[in-house]
């Protein structure tokens, strides 16, 4: 049977840490297998008889000095244990160790056991965690700086857009605010002339008098310019480094290179109508990262919303309007598709919206026989209901899908359809808009939307101060949705004509309500209409 000394010695040999026992004079008395084989470039040695303190004292190393001081304190009996961590790097590997030492006595003589534990994995994890924490702190600070900058920019631009009284004022204030924001140097907003398709800067602002482009920009010709590309493609365009942009010299004078290194162009669009383009220059390459482009797109949306609100308000207050007459040849236009499918003339009567906002178009077809089944299968139409049928034709209520809802887009942007009729593949349309800019924007929208659009006439006309549109604006706020729907259906279905071509029961069925409920909605709507008509006398 093994003695206790033999068992202790065998156990010491198997420990996965380097262990040495020092005598009272610092001489190595005993080591284990890990100690003897430590060090990739050394032959195995037990180092027994080596003065550990003397060897450590010869090296000019702060960690070795600390170790000697700690071990001397143990051998002197000043303390029981001593610990320290230290690096022990080799040319090809970084390593760290933890030294643990403790004094003990044998037969009245003081000894010290020294253990070195490899803590490289833990140390590397700590370093990685600290670097990650530093990186996170830096990113958080950068994000806070960006958010503060972005918040101020968005707030100021939104304030400029909302509080300005005219479109020109909106554009001027926005350009000035953007040009004052580092690293931006120049900002301009361009409008498109519908007659020659040229982009003209309407407002601009810059730091240090940065020059504008050299040449006039024209849609369809100057696609290399980001402003033209943004308008034609309907999305943002960025040039990250003008020095590597081949067409830079064509658009920007040599002097501009002293101030600008990157450019971004963003369409100013509300729904389907484009009001222009926002162009911003920066004094740093790669200044327009994805985040920056998203910010500019958000600002452009705010600008477009504010312009649209001004245009809509002007439509309600101005005494001048723009009238457009157009001929549209495109089979995707729902009235054209319907006319082709039915081999008939289709006349648009008006539009209403159900509770989900789905547009319901009322059209007259000059065919008296059943046409609803064919109409429901026509392009742009998801459902068709016959409201009335006479010898002169059929009045239909059409539920439009997204491809047929362009009438909603027109109304959304202040355009009123005065006439829309089609046969033989060509739709004749007459629109009324609040001003010249709306007319140009709407023409651009229709030209982009349909295959062939011909402008028949364009004119600005005076209209009476009090119009049906004014009355409808007031009624829209006074009537409930059901009351508006009941009134519109009755009117478009010629319910008020005599003899009636449709009954109240049929109109009620088209709204999926009872006859009594329908007549209640209709009577309340009529009462509100008469109140508006006669109360002002």
Fold equal for 4-118 and 141-315: yes
pTM beyond 0.85, yes or no? no
Return phi, psi of residue 135, to 5°: -65, -45
pLDDT in tens, 399-409: 888 655 677 77
Q: Which CATH architecture has domain 141-315?
A: 2-Layer Sandwich (3.30)
Rounded mean pLDDT of 170-190?
85
pLDDT > 80? residue 154: no
pLDDT at 86 over 50: yes
Looking at per-residue confidence, does 329 or 495 come out higher?
329
pLDDT of residue 209: 64
State residue 324's pLDDT score.
Answer: 86
**Taking 70 as the threshold, does the pLDDT of residue 172 lie above it?**
yes
Distance CA 279, CA 228 (A): 10
Euclidean distance between CA atoms 112 and 70, whole angstroms: 11
Poorest-confidence range of 99-103, 251-255, 385-389? Answer: 251-255
The pLDDT of residue 328 is 92
**What would the pLDDT profile of 203-241 be if each residue is shown by its tens digit?**
888 876 665 665 678 887 878 888 888 888 889 998 888
Span 379-388, mean pLDDT? 87
Q: Mind listing the pLDDT tens digit for each residue in 28-69?
A: 998 888 888 875 555 567 788 888 888 888 777 888 889 999
DSSP 6-64: HHHHHHHHH-SSEEEEE-TTSBEEEE-HHHHH-STTS-----TT-BHHHHHHTS--HHH
Full strand arrangement of the beta sheet holding 18-22: 28-31, 18-22, 109-118, 96-106, 81-87
Please, which pLDDT band fits residue 145 given cuts at 50, 70 and 90? low
Least confident of 115-124, 194-203, 486-495, 502-511: 194-203
pLDDT above 70 covers a percentage of the chain that reads 87
pLDDT band, very low/low/confident/very high, at 73 (cuts 50, 70, 90): very high
What digits encode the pLDDT tens for the residues 459-505?
Answer: 877 655 455 566 667 777 778 888 888 888 888 888 888 788 788 88
Q: What is the mean pLDDT of residues 95-104?
A: 91
Report in angstroms the alpha-carbon separations of 155 from 152, 268, 291.
Answer: 5, 18, 17
Residue ranges with strand state E in 358-508: 359-365, 381-390, 393-400, 416-423, 426-433, 452-462
* pLDDT (0 to 100) of residue 146: 57
Q: Are 179 and 185 in contact (CB under 8 A)?
A: yes
CB 526 within 8 A of CB 487: yes
The pLDDT tens digits of the residues spanning 258-291 come to 667 889 999 998 877 788 899 988 888 888 888 8
Superfamily name with CATH number, domain 4-118: PAS domain (3.30.450.20)
Mean residue pLDDT across the chain? 81
What is the mean predicted confidence (pLDDT) over 192-211?
Answer: 75
Candidates 30, 65, 28; CA nearest to 50 is 28
List 263's β-bridge partners, or say none. 239, 281
Is the pLDDT reported for residue 142 higher than 70?
no
> 231: which 2 tokens?
């308008």
- Domain residue spans in the chain? 4-118, 141-315
DSSP state at residue 90:
B
Neighbours of 533 (CB within 10 A): 11
The per-residue pLDDT for 535 is 55
The pLDDT value recorded for residue 179 is 84
Percentage of the chain lying above the pLDDT 90 cut: 10
SS3 for 271? coil
Torsion, CA 205, CA 207, CA 209, CA 213, rounded to 10? -60
- pLDDT for residue 40: 52
Taking residues 428-446, report their average pLDDT.
Answer: 81
In the prediction, which pLDDT does 255 show?
Answer: 45
Residue-level pLDDT at 81:
95
């Amino acid at each position: 049977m093994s003695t206790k000394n033999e068992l202790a010695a065998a156990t010491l040999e198997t420990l996965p840490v380097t262990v040495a026992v020092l005598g009272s004079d610092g001489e190595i008395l005993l080591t284990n297998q890990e100690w003897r084989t430590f060090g990739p470039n050394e032959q195995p040695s037990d180092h027994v008889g080596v003065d550990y303190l003397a060897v450590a004292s010869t090296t000019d190393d702060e960690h070795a000095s600390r170790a000697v001081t700690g071990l001397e304190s143990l051998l002197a009996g000043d303390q029981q244990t001593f610990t320290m961590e230290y690096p022990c790097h080799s040319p090809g590997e970084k390593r760290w160790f933890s030294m643990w030492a403790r004094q003990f006595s044998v037969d009245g003589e003081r000894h010290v056991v020294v253990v070195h534990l490899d803590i490289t994995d833990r140390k590397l994890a700590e370093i990685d965690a600290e670097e990650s924490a530093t990186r996170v702190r830096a990113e958080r600070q950068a994000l806070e700086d960006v958010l503060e900058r972005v918040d101020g920019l968005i707030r100021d631009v939104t304030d400029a857009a909302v509080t300005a009284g005219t479109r020109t004022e909106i554009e001027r204030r926005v350009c000035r605010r953007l040009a004052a924001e580092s690293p931006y140097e120049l900002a301009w907003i361009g409008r498109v002339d519908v007659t020659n398709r040229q982009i003209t800067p309407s407002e601009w602002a810059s730091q240090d008098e940065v020059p504008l482009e050299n040449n006039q920009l024209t849609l369809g010709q100057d696609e290399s310019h980001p402003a033209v590309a943004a308008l034609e493609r309907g999305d943002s365009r960025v040039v990250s480094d003008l020095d590597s942009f081949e067409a830079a010299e064509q658009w920007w004078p040599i002097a501009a290179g002293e101030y600008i290194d990157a450019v971004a162009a963003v369409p100013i669009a509300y729904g389907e109508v484009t009001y222009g383009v926002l162009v911003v220059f920066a004094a740093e390459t790669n200044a327009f990262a994805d985040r920056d482009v998203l910010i500019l797109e958000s600002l452009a949306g705010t600008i477009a919303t504010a312009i649209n609100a001004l245009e809509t308000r002007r439509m309600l207050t101005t005494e001048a309007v723009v009238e457009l007459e157009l001929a549209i040849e495109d089979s995707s236009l729902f009235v054209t598709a319907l006319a082709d499918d039915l081999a008939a003339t289709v006349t648009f009567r008006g539009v209403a919206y159900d509770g989900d906002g789905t547009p319901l178009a009322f059209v007259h077809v000059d065919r008296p026989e059943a046409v609803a089944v064919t109409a429901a299968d026509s392009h742009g139409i998801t459902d068709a209901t016959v409201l009335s049928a006479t010898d002169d034709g059929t009045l239909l209520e059409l539920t439009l899908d997204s491809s047929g809802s362009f009438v909603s887009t027109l109304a959304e942007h202040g355009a009123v359809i005065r006439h829309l009729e089609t046969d033989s593949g060509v739709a004749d349309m007459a629109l009324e808009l609040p001003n010249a800019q709306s007319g140009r924007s709407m023409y651009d929208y229709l030209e982009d939307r349909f295959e062939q659009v011909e402008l028949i006439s364009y004119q600005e006309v005076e209209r009476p101060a009090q119009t049906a549109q004014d009355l409808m604006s007031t009624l829209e706020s006074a009537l409930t949705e059901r009351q508006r729907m009941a009134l519109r259906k009755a009117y478009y279905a010629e319910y008020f004509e005599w003899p009636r071509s449709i009954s109240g029961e049929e109109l009620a069925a088209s709204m999926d309500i009872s006859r009594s409920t329908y007549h209640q909605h209709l009577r309340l709507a009529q009462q509100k209409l008469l109140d508006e008509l006669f109360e002002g006398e």
